[in-house]
Homo-oligomer: A and B are copies of this chain.
């Protein structure tokens, strides 16, 4: 019998305990051993969670308990969780976590510490979708060419509602908060940071790349407005918040941003709160993984799968697929300024003669080639220019946007969304 201690018995932790209890028949048959939750750490000892486990508010009661084989870390946060996990590993306990922020900052230190003991984190990326297993084990024969995914259900829900039901950004944000999909401060989701944490984990498995959130391009969906959705639909695109990792020679580009993506792509067809991640390998071609990216039971499904894996095989695979940094590969992070893309721009201008000529001249001066241009009335005295470009360089686009923003007839900083 294996004994589990759960640090943080909230929504996910309660689901973990429930699954280990309710699905014990298949779990023990698959694991080859019974697995039980012995105890859990909570903040509030008085709350009834409907679980038959011993409860404590002192993390030492689990870390010092010699009977506990596996520690499930669901406390969240970065540094405090890092200390707790280090202590658990140091005490010889296997660790399973759903904590993406912890991994976004400390995954390589953790891989070093967990050289001989299992440390697993399937639930940290895309909730119930077994994307870590698929990428690290299932696609291990491939050089990974790209990863592109919808890694944040809140943003995908908002984009889907704006597209299908014509809801405004502000209205759908409010609704998402009421439904519990978005936090009171929604920045972590709509600003792209949650997706970035997940992307960094996948990039380590695919490329052995060590990068932190500060090192990569992170933008959110907070600039997307109904006008942009309308443009996208007219030209056969969906707008999604995407996490993208792409190999380009010996450079890897990592970026999170809203993107226009052709409606024909499988990723574009993923709607609502669902997550989906497309992985292209040099041998296997495109594969795609779809499912619930959040929620107590879906996330706990991944936590428990890790526990079963540990029961079956103990430590088998290096935590991140290979050592840090991937030796001999020479892969380096591409500087953000060098990323190339097609771009969509929305420029709000005063409706005067000569404006179009001035704008198109600036595009030309920055070596940016226009693919389509629409002018749409905004108010009685202003218009929106909706422009898509051919492939251009991030630094050229940014300096052009800076210049356009300064023009006397431009009413706001242009909004830019990349096209993938």
Contact = CB atoms under 8 A, between A and B. Distances in A.
A30 B140 contact: yes
Contacts of A286: 290-292
A357 interface: no
Given A138-B302, A141-B303, A290-B290, 19 more contacts: A26-B140, A29-B323, A29-B327, A30-B318, A128-B285, A128-B287, A130-B134, A137-B137, A137-B305, A139-B301, A141-B302, A283-B301, A283-B304, A284-B297, A285-B297, A286-B290, A287-B292, A288-B288, A313-B316
A266 interface: yes
A295 to B, nearest CB: 8
A147 interface: no
Interface string A26-44: 1101111000000000000
A408 interface: no
12 contacts: A26-B142, A30-B140, A128-B287, A129-B138, A130-B137, A134-B138, A137-B305, A137-B308, A141-B305, A141-B307, A284-B291, A287-B292
A363 interface: no
A287 B290 contact: yes
- Oligomer: number of copies: 2
Interface of A: 15, 19, 23, 25-27, 29-32, 122, 128-130, 133-134, 137-143, 208, 266, 269-270, 281-292, 295, 297-298, 300-305, 307-309, 312-313, 316-318, 321-323, 326-329
Nearest to A142: B301
A292 B147 CA distance: 16
Given A30-B322, A134-B130, A322-B30, A23 B287 contact: no
Q: Top 5 A-B pairs ranked by shortest CB distance?
A: A130-B138, A313-B316, A141-B304, A287-B291, A128-B284
Contacts of A281: 128, 301
A281 B300 CA distance: 12
A110 B123 CA distance: 33
A143 B316 contact: no
Interface core residue of A23, A327, A328 (most chain B CB under 10 Å): A23
Interface core residue of A141, A143, A285, A327 (most chain B CB under 10 Å): A141
A304 to B, nearest CB: 3
Contacts of A307: 141
A146 to B, nearest CB: 14
B292 A285 contact: yes
Interface core residue of A25, A281, A295 (most chain B CB under 10 Å): A281
B138 A287 contact: no
A322 to B, nearest CB: 4
A165 to B, nearest CB: 15
Contacts of A137: 130, 133, 137, 305, 308-309
Nearest to A129: B287
A122 B32 CA distance: 21
Nearest to A126: B287
A326 to B, nearest CB: 6
